[in-house]
Structure 1
């Protein structure tokens, strides 16, 4: 487990907190109040870090199940066997250079990686450029700053309202079915599909690793008052996620496939008390193989590929990649 020193908050990890009445404000996810969720997304979810110097993506843009995807393969595929890996990104989406380079890193380890456009050509809105809003003591500049922050928060809320399980999961299922058909050899070689998720994508990897992997289909079949909703086997063989956003304890309670979770200490976007701890207890009770590693001294979003000046963050980013890769390799 990473050290337990106090976590720091970098600008890219600031949560979009809104001082409203939690008793009445509703979540964008049906059934959850904002009080249950806490803050929603941070800067890292909408803006990429600088890409590593001199690196260019090696994959290609294609379609699976009619959905746009970034697909990257091992250099010796199909002459050498590969395994299929579904990689779900944060809000910057499948066209982000950093997300593509991150997928390439898994491809270099022998995985055929599919990064779907889970946002249907609608990635998260970029944060308002604050460079022109000078933070000084003048009342006019203070108003400018608050206005820019308010616009940014409003845009993110509107974006989240457009991208819920009801819209995201059907896209993912189309991609998965398309991948099973086009890359049947990789699915068979891995005896299933593996999943990696960062930030926004982490929630959906956990859902796909659970007994409610297709909750919409279960709802369409109806429910039994005594047995509850129809349950299905997880779609993923194993999954690994880093610093999830919008994850609920119910997502973790439903997990049935082996999962690794990289979390950030004192992370307001992935609450230890309200989400992680009860989720771990549920996985233990359900005898689900899992591992949780808490990183301190790093911002939320640290595991997403991107350049940092802080050596501590760089080291933790490399460590998280190694842990996530090792987890899926061992399953």
Structure 2
């Protein structure tokens, strides 16, 4: 079957990715360098591990408290978690006009920043995941991956027929192409927001048609009334936003638990 030329189904990250809330709490992981990339490593509580590994591809904020707390939560679900900082201490929030602003500095070249880090991520994520599997994996270990915003394309790239990762998930994605959905060979969960101009309804519905017509294994979570960033940067003081964030997390955990048990 011929694959159509690539077109964008989710637009690249922009200033909309600077909105959201910071979450407080103590994190428990450590950071090591693996394949030139700072790597957040967090483990299950003693006696609670399932023996499997989860790769975490962060949003444009990289290693910040929200992401590390979420990685710790996936560890609480039984997974040994490895998160990659493909920004190498150059996250988007360092380029805001000021610490309370949700727009970037007018002199900041967003496209150049994005292209630089995307180039590093495309080259590094495959060898990074393989190095971790070879060092930390065992014969019975299975692997999954989750990506948020900037990290979503690397989920799809990890789920080709040639890859060793069993299942993947993303939430409020950016920079996806239809070709990536055509090339998908492993189960994928899509966690989507009603108000997401980076991945609006007509785009995720087109992605669904590609997956459905090709007989891919997929699940879509669709949450009313929330926006881009809801799964990582929601307002935890809002009961509904907290509920949606937790539902996205629980759905992803259950998705991984099922497919890695097969």
Shorter-chain TM-score: which interval? 0.7 to 0.9
Task: Show the counterpart of 2:166.
Answer: 237
1:38 deviation in Å? Answer: 7.2
> In the alignment, is the contact (CA less than 8 A) between 2:10 and 2:174 conserved in 1?
no
Q: 1:142-153, aligned counterparts within 5 Å?
A: 151=106
Structure 1 counterpart of 2:140: 189
Aligned equivalents of 1:107, 1:297: Cα separation in 2: 29
Query: Corresponding residue for 1:201?
Result: 151
Q: Distance in 2 between matches of 1:208 and 1:306?
A: 27
TM-score, normalising length: structure 2: 0.85
Which residue does 2:207 correspond to in 1?
279
In structure 2, how many angstroms separate the alpha carbons of the residues matched to 1:180 and 1:39? 31
Contact 1:46 1:126 (C-alpha < 8 Å) held by counterparts: no
**Mapped pair 1:157 → 2:123:** no
> Displacement, 1:150?
7.0
Which residue does 2:176 correspond to in 1?
A: 247
Cα pair distance change 1:50/1:254, threshold 3 Å: same
Contact residue 172 and residue 199 of structure 2 kept, 8 A: yes
Alignment coverage as a number of residue pairs: 254
| Aligned equivalent of 2:120 | 167
Deviations 1:236-287 (A, max 9, x none): 20001101011122222221100100111242101332x3222212212222
Structure 1 residues not aligned, in runs of 5+ = 1-30, 133-147, 212-232
> Are residue 322 (structure 1) and residue 232 (structure 2) matched?
no
2:205 corresponds to 1:310? no
What SS class does the counterpart of residue 169 from structure 2 fall into?
strand
In structure 2, how many angstroms separate the alpha carbons of the residues matched to 1:42 and 1:303? 17
Secondary structure of the residue aligned to 1:330 is: helix
Change (3 A) 1:163 1:76: same
Q: Unmatched 5+ residue regions in structure 2?
A: none
Deviation at 1:114, TM superposition (A): 0.2
Structure with the largest fraction of strand: 2
1:71 equivalenced with 2:41 (yes/no): yes
Q: CA RMSD of the aligned region, Å?
A: 2.7
Q: Which has the larger radius of gyration?
A: 1
TM-score by length of 1: 0.69
Equivalences for residues 1-331 of structure 1 within 5 A? 36=8, 40-43=12-15, 45-46=17-18, 49-52=21-24, 55-76=25-46, 81-93=50-62, 95-124=63-92, 125-129=94-98, 151=106, 154-164=108-118, 166-185=119-138, 188-190=139-141, 192-211=142-161, 233-273=162-202, 275-304=203-232, 307-331=235-259
Question: Separation in 2 of the partners of 1:130 and 1:80?
Answer: 38
